[in-house]
Structure 1
């Protein structure tokens, strides 16, 4: 008997392979899905069932691709918006045998209308569920977001509350297997740990401590969540069925001449933020490889062509995997060698870093090196961070919202970008630089440095 978790880095997506008696099932496969076939075959299992907990918003489902590879049947919940064309619809109470294991369907709407949980039983010990695949209904330390139906906010929050009661009714012994871990955009309060039980969550999950349905609804509708534009693309592909990923999951290597002639819609520098700030190609934006899953969908649209700038080949391969999983993979190639280009006389741009002392001087009007009237300290953290603590007289635009709101900014003004430490501020500054802003700097250390200076002074 086999049950293995397969984690997708960056997206913090969790999928599962389970098997018994020569059969195997996959829960919520990702787009690059050869890994499931390889692991099943290594264990002497045949994939016969593919279960989806819901229509994903943050990545392309690999279910239709894996079905074509294996002949397995895809099972999905009832979707009132549009049928999932590649799946067979299942309902509350449907059961499936995977060798000695039994999978029982629970309808658990709230996060999405089509959401299902799958309770897992061992037929040799049938009294209570061994575990439950909770999708985006219940996480370790959090519950699913309910902001995808803005005109039905209270209704869907109430549906999630009811769905959670179904999961809790399985018993404290049941192990939970969620579809995401910490770092996912599908929840903000997830624990770093990716293992838990219904009983542990009942005792410790903050949202499950709210036992009054109306109070739970109020808490959910007052949460702040962001929806990158690429979510709409994921929703469409996950109803229609996305294409198989590229056969080669690595961009082609570009010479400097090929890179300069690539005519890409976006030049994305995936090196670390300090490397980008120190010297980058004009017109390029900063998106460190580890930040691609969280932010590329804000700035790159469907069908737009991408050229990558990397420090090494490993970065290019990782970036390509991240892009494939969100179907923003029209990559013309990758260039490695910014330093070599500089040695050949290529012009590079830089974005200065400033510290707390310099920010204080500007806030107090004591910096004679800049035009104080045209200076803006622009905070690009999220709304919850901003509400918890902010620097007086700073302005606020969430980093993702700069994808459109940059057009309302005055390119003649001087912007200092800040976040919690400096990483998102560099992404924001890089995006503005790629749109023609040239009077920029970055508050290195950001809010953490500001608080430290304040605590030290006290």
Structure 2
């Protein structure tokens, strides 16, 4: 008997391979799905079923691709906005045997209308559920977001409350297997731990401490969530069925001359923020490899071409994996070596960094031509803000940059300086010259005032 979690870094996506007596099922597979076939074959299992908890918004589903590879059938919940082209519809109480295991369907709408959970039973011990694959309904330490239907905010928040009661009714012994862990854009309060039980969540999950349905609805409709533009692309692909991932998950090597003449829509420097600030190629934006999953979808549109600039080949391969999983895979190639480029006479630009003392001096001077621009999210801003600063969420700079004055001097700040570097890099790529970054940002400011 097998139950294995497959984690997708960056997206913090969790999928699962479940098997018994020669048969296996996969829950919520990612686009690059060879891993499931390899693991199943290594365990002597044939994948017969593919279960989707909902139409994902933050990554391309691998379900249709895995179905072609294995001949397995795909099961998806009822009531999607449009029919899921590659899946059969399953309903409450439907049961599927996977060897000795049994998977029963629980309709759990709220996060999305088509959301379902899959309850796992061992037929040799049938009295209580062993566990439940909760998708984006229940996480470890949090519950799903309910902001995808803005005209039905109260209704869908109430639906999620009701769905959570159904999950809680499975019993405290049931283990929970969510579709995301900490770091996912699908929730902000998830625990770093990726294992839990219904009983533990009942006692400790802050959202499950809210007993009143009306109070739960009020809390949910007042949450702040962001929806990157690429969510719409994911929704479309996950209804129609996306293409398979590229077989080679490594960009084509570019020379410096090829990089300069490739005419890519975006030059993306995936090195660490300090490396980018110290020196980068003109026109390049900053998107550190570890931040690609969170922010690439704000600044890169479907079909736009990408050239990557990295510190080493491993960064290029990892960046391509992250981009492919959200279907931003028009990658013309990758270049390694900003320092060698400088040695060849290539012009290099830098972005100055300033400290708390300098920020205080500029605030006190009250200059008309200088703005301290806070790019943190709304919750962070509401919790603590520097008086005199202005606020635009980093992702919203994808459009809001057009309203900014290129003759103005901007200092970018966030929680520590990483997102501020992304913001500064984006503005620099749009022709802003008078920029610097508050190193340490809000953390440094608070340390200086404690």
Give TM class, smaller chain: over 0.9
Give the superposition deviation at 1:79: 2.7
Q: Which residue of 2 is the match for residue 391 of structure 1?
A: 386
Q: Equivalents in 2 of 1:81, 1:449: separation in Å?
A: 46
Q: Which of 398, 401, 404 matches 2:399?
A: 404
Give the superposition deviation at 1:247: 1.2
Question: Within 5 Å, which residues of 2 pair with 1:58-73?
Answer: 58-73=58-73
Q: Which of 355, 370, 375 matches 1:375?
A: 370
Summarize deviations over 1:207-253 as a string: whole Å, max 9, x none: 00001100000000000000000000000000000000111111000
Summarize deviations over 1:18-48 as a string: whole Å, max 9, x none: 0001000000000000000000000000000
Q: Secondary structure at the match of 1:187?
A: coil
Q: Which residue of 2 is the match for residue 430 of structure 1?
A: 425
Q: Which residue of 2 is the match for residue 266 of structure 1?
A: 266
Q: Equivalents in 2 of 1:154, 1:207: separation in Å?
A: 16
Question: Within 5 Å, which residues of 2 pair with 1:81-100?
Answer: 81-100=81-100
Q: Which residue of 2 is the match for residue 120 of structure 1?
A: 120
Q: Equivalents in 1 of 2:126, 2:316: separation in Å?
A: 48
Length-normalised TM-score, structure 2:
1.00
Q: Secondary structure at the match of 1:373?
A: coil
Q: Which residue of 1 is the match for residue 440 of structure 2?
A: 445
Q: Which runs of 5+ in 2 are unaligned?
A: none
Q: Equivalents in 2 of 1:327, 1:105: separation in Å?
A: 29
Q: Which runs of 5+ in 1 are unaligned?
A: 367-371
Q: Which residue of 2 is the match for residue 155 of structure 1?
A: 155
Q: Equivalents in 2 of 1:154, 1:174: separation in Å?
A: 29
Q: Equivalents in 1 of 2:211, 2:100: separation in Å?
A: 36
Question: Within 5 Å, which residues of 2 pair with 1:51-450?
Answer: 51-365=51-365, 372-450=367-445
Where does structure 1 differ by over 4 angstroms across 4 or more consecutive aligned residues? none
Q: Equivalents in 1 of 2:158, 2:133: separation in Å?
A: 21
Q: Secondary structure at the match of 2:162?
A: helix
Q: Equivalents in 1 of 2:6, 2:81: separation in Å?
A: 30
Summarize deviations over 1:400-432 as a string: whole Å, max 9, x none: 000000000000000000000000000000000
Q: Secondary structure at the match of 2:267?
A: strand
Q: Which residue of 2 is the match for residue 8 of structure 1?
A: 8
Give the superposition deviation at 1:80: 3.9
Q: Which residue of 2 is the match for residue 369 of structure 1?
A: none
Give the superposition deviation at 1:81: 1.3
Q: Which residue of 1 is the match for residue 25 of structure 2?
A: 25
Q: Equivalents in 2 of 1:337, 1:379: separation in Å?
A: 31
Q: Equivalents in 2 of 1:27, 1:185: separation in Å?
A: 19
Q: Equivalents in 2 of 1:281, 1:78: separation in Å?
A: 50
Summarize deviations over 1:80-104 as a string: whole Å, max 9, x none: 4100010000000100000000000
Summarize deviations over 1:120-147 as a string: whole Å, max 9, x none: 0000000000000000000000000000
Q: Equivalents in 2 of 1:85, 1:309: separation in Å?
A: 37
Give the superposition deviation at 1:373: 1.4
Q: What is the alpha-carbon root mean square deviation over aligned residues?
A: 0.5
Q: Secondary structure at the match of 1:364?
A: helix
Q: Which residue of 1 is the match for residue 449 of structure 2?
A: 454
Q: Equivalents in 1 of 2:257, 2:370: separation in Å?
A: 38
Q: Secondary structure at the match of 1:200?
A: helix
Q: Equivalents in 2 of 1:156, 1:218: separation in Å?
A: 12
* Equivalent residue pairs, number: 450
Q: Equivalents in 2 of 1:218, 1:287: separation in Å?
A: 36
Q: Equivalents in 1 of 2:198, 2:84: separation in Å?
A: 30
